Structure 1
């Protein structure tokens, strides 16, 4: 089993705190740390935040949320093994050629330790502020995935779609492994089907406590329908029973996730922030090392 910490960049937006977090996470044996994404947060919005029962974004909208790619570049520079993932980047808001260049460069400089977690977004008002259509954002995301993979795969790449068109262009450096894993995030059946059709992994919500297994089953069925091996798609899931202070049996919780076919358990970083050194070291000793 692999373990990841979520919300790295908004939990630790400052340089010293970020470096402290990732160094301790690496020493404890975590596989990866995730960084969230919002370009802007409107003062008022009518969109429903899908990961909290209130339907509203938690926290202070004026709090720092560093750009995930820049934050990941900083923390990759002070680690050697830890992987980093956007969890998740709102793909339809980005120019796919610019993003392909940024992600490949980051992967190249980090020695192949980058994963691109993507979602299609829920905050319509943010799309409006950026001048990006909210409609057809799912189809736009599908094209962007294909276009980026084409740029990463070979020089002289071409792609022609409704939203992206280029002919015989080269984008370098290439990712270390020839591509960057794309992990599809989201709370909907559409996200699950996208993961099954196109993703290297699927990351349903770890927000409010909901059963994500039905969505994981949708992703597996979509993979089969697309002629892909469902077992080749990494499934990520939360596990509140492992958080500090839960008082639950870690072994039983992990065995349940293993039986469900989960490959990586994702935990929010916030519960570890009180006495970070001790809590991460203890988690590494009691959970990561015995069950990895």
Structure 2
């Protein structure tokens, strides 16, 4: 089943006064039947934002950050907790959270709590990040951050799963640890692994992944889906059922409104290519929840018709 996700406006280049627009978008997404809302993560910024344009350290070639170092970025799990309390069915996702910046035991607790209170609606999209300064501010090494992410996911999934949890690694050891409540969702909170395909990312998907969030050149290459599935199968996991995020190009009219028919035309080819979760940055008006619903309602209806739901 192909799903529709939208990005919540959880950051701003200048102080927005309040964040009511974010909350209005979340409520409207819930009412109109959007499948998932997702938001981004930065804990801190350094002053070398041009590093984001370097794919060799995890950035995007030619990419630029949408704010300067003093841009306002809401913490994603805290924000999703607020959204969970005012919605009832839309799924809540991170796209992505730099998971290794959080202590694993605390991340396990906060995500379990949010999953319980949202009645099993949380999706955890994770990545290693690109910014050295975030790791330095957290007292963590930037080099080897992929291994730190794997360690974080190993501890988190152990605590989600085991009634009496134990772990031993170079980073930490514990035995006989009880952390309750467990997530509502069987097997724990679904983990969506972000990254460009290489050995470590493939191993991460195979071990932890419910889905893959393509990054870099793979994000624009439908053939990468086949390579991901082949790589996961070679690691001994059946890739059937693995979800894949794709970008839904939102076409705008001359006056800046969503051109629903033109936008929907892209859905069929993307679904046929194997993308199962289409995420769009939809231009939405700032006139409150009703105005946002007027935009999202027709888009959701057309999307569902296009994918046969």
The verdict on a shared fold, with TM-score over 0.5 as the criterion, is yes
In structure 2, which of residues 269, 287, 297 is the aligned counterpart of residue 256 of structure 1?
269
Task: Establish whether residue 163 from structure 1 lines up as the match of residue 167 from structure 2.
Answer: no
Aligned to 1:203: 213
Partner of 1:285: 301
User: In the alignment, what sits opposite 1:220?
Assistant: 229
Partner residue, 1:236 = 245
Shift of 1:164: 3.4
Cα distance between partner residues in 1 of 2:153 and 2:93? 16
Q: Which residue of structure 1 aligns with residue 28 of structure 2?
A: 24
Report the counterpart of residue 7 of structure 2 in structure 1.
6
- For residues 29-48 of structure 1, the aligned pairs below 5 Å read 29-45=33-49, 47-48=51-52
Distance 1:239 1:182 in 2: 21
How far apart in 1 are the matches of 2:272 and 2:60? 27
Equivalent positions of 1:22-171 (< 5 A) are 22-45=26-49, 47-49=51-53, 50=55, 53-171=61-179
- Name which of structure 1's ranges 240-249 and 99-108 shifts more when overlaid on structure 2: 240-249
Q: Which residue is 1:265 aligned to? A: 278
The alpha-carbon deviation at position 188 of structure 1 amounts to: 4.7
Q: Deviations over 1:203-234 (max 9, x none)?
A: 124x8995232433332122202221212211
Change (3 A) 1:16 1:282: same
Residue deviations 1:224-251 (CA, integer Å, cap 9, x gap): 0222121221111102156654676445
Question: Structure 1 residue 55: deviation in Å?
Answer: 4.0
Q: Quote the Cα distance in structure 2 between the aligned partners of 1:200 and 1:126.
A: 26
1:98-150 deviation per Cα after TM superposition (whole angstroms, max 9, x unaligned): 10000000001110100111001111122112211111111121122121111
Q: Secondary structure at the match of 1:73?
A: helix
Unpaired runs of at least 5, structure 1: none
- Kindly tell me the number of residue pairs found equivalent between the two proteins: 290
Query: Which deviates further from its counterpart, 25-34 or 1-10?
Result: 1-10
Native 8 Å contact 1:238 1:266 kept in 2: yes
Matched residues in 2 for 1:63 and 1:96: separation? 27
Equivalent-residue separation in structure 2 for 1:247 and 1:74 (angstroms): 30
Larger deviation, residues 101-110 vs 134-143? 134-143
Residue of 181, 197, 217 corresponding to 2:190: 181
What's the offset of the Cα at 1:66?
0.8
Alpha-carbon distance in 2 for matches of 1:251, 1:46: 34
Question: After the TM superposition, which of the residue ranges 252-261 and 107-116 deviates more from structure 2?
Answer: 252-261
Q: How many angstroms apart in 1 are the aligned matches of 2:61 and 2:159?
A: 40
- Structure 1 23/112 Cα, relative in aligned 2: closer, same or farther at 3 Å? same
The TM-score normalised by the length of structure 1 is 0.89
